[in-house]
Amino acid sequence: MLMNLFKFKGGVKPPTNKTQSVTLPIATAPIPPRLVVPLHQSIGGTPRPVVQAGDKVLKGQLIGEADGRISAAVHAPTSGTVVEVAMHVQPHPSGLDALCVVIAPDGKDEWIARATVDYQSLTPEEVRARLQQAGVVGLGGAVFPSHGKLTASKTVPMDELVINGAECEPFMTCDDVLMRERGEEIVHGAGIFRNLLQVKKVLIGIEDNKPEAVTAMRAAVKAAEEDFEVIAVPTRYPAGGAKQLIRVLTGKEVPASKRSTDLGVQCFNVATAYTAWRALAHGEPVVSRIVTVTGNVQAPRNYEVLIGAPMDELLKLAKPHPDTDGIIMGGPMMGFLVPDHAAPVVKATNCLIAHSPTLFPPKPPEMPCIRCGECARACPHELQPFEMYWFSRAKNFGKTQEYAIFDCIECGCCSYVCPSRIPLVQYFRFAKSEIWAREREKQAAEGAKSRFEFKQLREEREKADKAEKLAKAAAAQAAKKAAEALAAAGASNAAPVAEPSPAAAGAAEAAKKAVIEAAMERAKAQRAAIQPKNVDHLPPAVEQEIAEIDARHAQALGTADTPSGGGEKNR
C-alpha cells in the first residue's frame, strides 16, 4: 500500500517529549468530591440548564440542552446530586466565570438507561440528532459540534474522509494511547462518519513517531473488515492541523475562506470518532475524555477523566514536582497557562502540562524585528507573520486583514522560530479579538440605527393614521349634518332646491359648526363627568335634600324651569 504523500510548506520540529507519558496504559482517574461542569463547552450556542439545585442525576443524564443548531448537549459525568447551577471559573485564558452545573457525586457512578441502537437503521438526520444529543464535539481541541460537520455537500461529491491521529503537539499523547488501546472503536466511529458523508475513501493519518499506534490501527481496520488506509505521515509540527493533514494526505489545498467540504474532504479527530461510536453503539454521551498529564511531574500518564473534574486534583495524581508553578492546558505550542488551577477539565482539555521555570524557562525580552523572514518560512499557512506583526502592533487592523490574519491558525511556529523572540501569536490574537469586537459594535450600531429609523417611521405613521381618522370622522359628521339640513329644507320649503352649490356650501359650513359644537358638548360633558365628585354616589336622602334646595333656588331666581329631580348635579 504505497501512497504518494504531499507536503505542506513551513512547519517546525520542536522536541516531542512524548515518550514520558506513553509508558503506562490509560488509567481511570478517581471521582473527585465535586464536579463543576461548564454548560458552554463547544462552539455555538450555550446549552440551557435543565436541572436545578437538589436534583438527583444519574451518569449520562442530560443537564444542558443544546441551544440552536450549532450547539451540543451536556451531561452529568457521574451520578449524584446537583449542588447548584452557578457561575464558576473557566479553563479559559481570561480566567472569567461562566454558568456551570455543580454536582456532588454519590460515588455509585450509576449509569442512566443506555439505549444501544444500530445506527444503520436510522436516517442520517436521526444519527446527527443523536450525536448532538450525546454532546459529541471535535475533541482535537476546537470543540466544534460534530453533527454540524456531517452533512454531505450537495454540490461537491465527497471524496475523502480524513481521520486525524497525527497529534503533532509536543508532550501530548492522549490520541496515541487511545489508538493503541481502543483502535477498533475508532474504526467503527469512522465508519459512521463515512456512511453519513458518503465518502469514497477513508484515510487515517498518524505521525510516524507513533509506530505502535499505526500498527494498532492497521490491526483494528483489519479486524473491523474495513478498507480504511492507515498512513504514517512525516513528523513535523503542525501536521495535525486539519488543513495541513488534508494537504499531506490528499494533496488538496483548502483555499482561504473556504471549507474543506468545498473540496470534497472532511476531517475528524480520532477521539471524536471514538465518542461518536460510544454514543450510538453504547448510548453513552460524552461524559469523560482522555487527558495527558505530563510536564514537570514524577509520573506522567494518560487518564480517563470525568468532565468537570478540577485540574489541580488531576495533576496531583501524577505527583508534580515541588517547583511546579502553573498548569498549561493544551500543548506547549498552542496551549495557555490556566489562570485558576481549580478550573474544571472540559471537552477541549486534551493535555495538562505542569509548568516550571526549569522546564519552560521564561522568554528573554522581545527585541526589535529584523525582518529576517524566518517566520514567513515557518508559517504553515504561507502567511507573512512579520507584516501582520507590524500592523497588529500599530493597531492598524484593516491592514492585518489584508494580510489574511484570519487564516492564521495560531499554531505558534512563527513565535517559535523568531530570533528576536517576539510573541507574534499574542499580537495576532490581540488583533483578531479587536477586529471581532469592532465587528460586534458595528453590527450593534447598524441594528440600533435600523430600529431607530423604524421607530421614527412608526411614529409618523401613527400620527398620520390619527389625523386621517379624525378627518374621516369629521367628514362623516359633515355629511350627516348636510343630509339633515337638506331634508329639513326640503320638508319646510317644499320647493325644489334651485342652486345646489351654495346650499351645499352652507350645509358644509353648518356641518363644521355642528362638529365644533359637538366637540364642545363632549368636552363639557367630560368636564361635567369629572368635576362634581363630591356629589356623586350620595345616599337618596341627601339627593332629595339637594333637589329641594335646587328647587328653592330656582324659585327664588324666578326661573320657569325647575330641576326635574336629583339628577341635575352639575351646577
Partner 1 sequence: MISALAIMALGAIILGAALGFASIKFKVHGNPLVEKIEGLLPQTQCGQCGYPGCHPYAEAIAKGEAEINLCPPGGEEGVRKLADLLGREVKPLDAEEKPKQVAVIDENTCIGCTLCIQACPVDAIVGAAKQMHTIVAPLCTGCELCLPPCPVECIRMEPIAENIDNWKWKYPVVEIKAAPLKQAA
Rounded distance between C-alpha atoms, residue 555 and residue 571, angstroms: 16
Residue with smaller CB distance to partner 1, 355 or 432: 432
The position carrying cell 483502535 is 183
The position carrying cell 461548564 is 38
Q: How far is the CB of 523 from partner 1 (least distance, A)?
A: 24
Q: How far is the CB of 464 from partner 1 (least distance, A)?
A: 18
Q: How far is the CB of 368 from partner 1 (least distance, A)?
A: 11
Cα dist. 87→81, 153, 337 in Å? Answer: 17, 39, 21
Residue type, 44: G
Decide: 248 and 204 in contact? Cβ < 8 Å. no
Backbone angles phi, psi at 215, to 5 degrees: -60, -45
Residue with smaller CB distance to partner 1, 362 or 540: 362
Residue with smaller CB distance to partner 1, 116 or 433: 433
Q: How far is the CB of 367 from partner 1 (least distance, A)?
A: 10
Residue with smaller CB distance to partner 1, 258 or 449: 449
Q: How far is the CB of 111 from partner 1 (least distance, A)?
A: 31
Binding site for partner 1 (CB under 8 A): 40, 90, 92-94, 96-98, 365-366, 423, 426-427, 429-430, 432-434, 436-437, 440-441, 444-449, 451-452, 454-455
Residue with smaller CB distance to partner 1, 45 or 124: 45
Residue 40 CB partners (closer than 8 Å, separation 6+)? 46, 47, 98, 99
Residue with smaller CB distance to partner 1, 372 or 448: 448
Residue with smaller CB distance to partner 1, 372 or 444: 444
Residue with smaller CB distance to partner 1, 141 or 191: 141
Specify which residues 267 forms β-bridges with.
Answer: 162
Q: How far is the CB of 91 from partner 1 (least distance, A)?
A: 11
Specify which residues 12 forms β-bridges with.
Answer: 237
In this structure, what C-alpha cell is assigned to residue 245?
A: 493533514
Decide: 292 and 21 in contact? Cβ < 8 Å. yes
Cα dist. 364→83, 333, 354, 560 in Å? Answer: 46, 17, 21, 112
Residue type, 368: P
Rounded distance between C-alpha atoms, residue 140 and residue 288, angstroms: 14
Q: How far is the CB of 451 from partner 1 (least distance, A)?
A: 4
Residue with smaller CB distance to partner 1, 455 or 463: 455
In this structure, what C-alpha cell is assigned to residue 429?
A: 490574537
Q: How far is the CB of 86 from partner 1 (least distance, A)?
A: 14
Q: How far is the CB of 440 from partner 1 (least distance, A)?
A: 8
Decide: 290 and 302 in contact? Cβ < 8 Å. yes
Rounded distance between C-alpha atoms, residue 432 and residue 417, angstroms: 22
Q: What b-and-e string marks burial along 216-243, b requiring 16 or more CB atoms within 10 Å of the CB?
A: bbbebbeebeeebbbbbbebbbbbbbbb
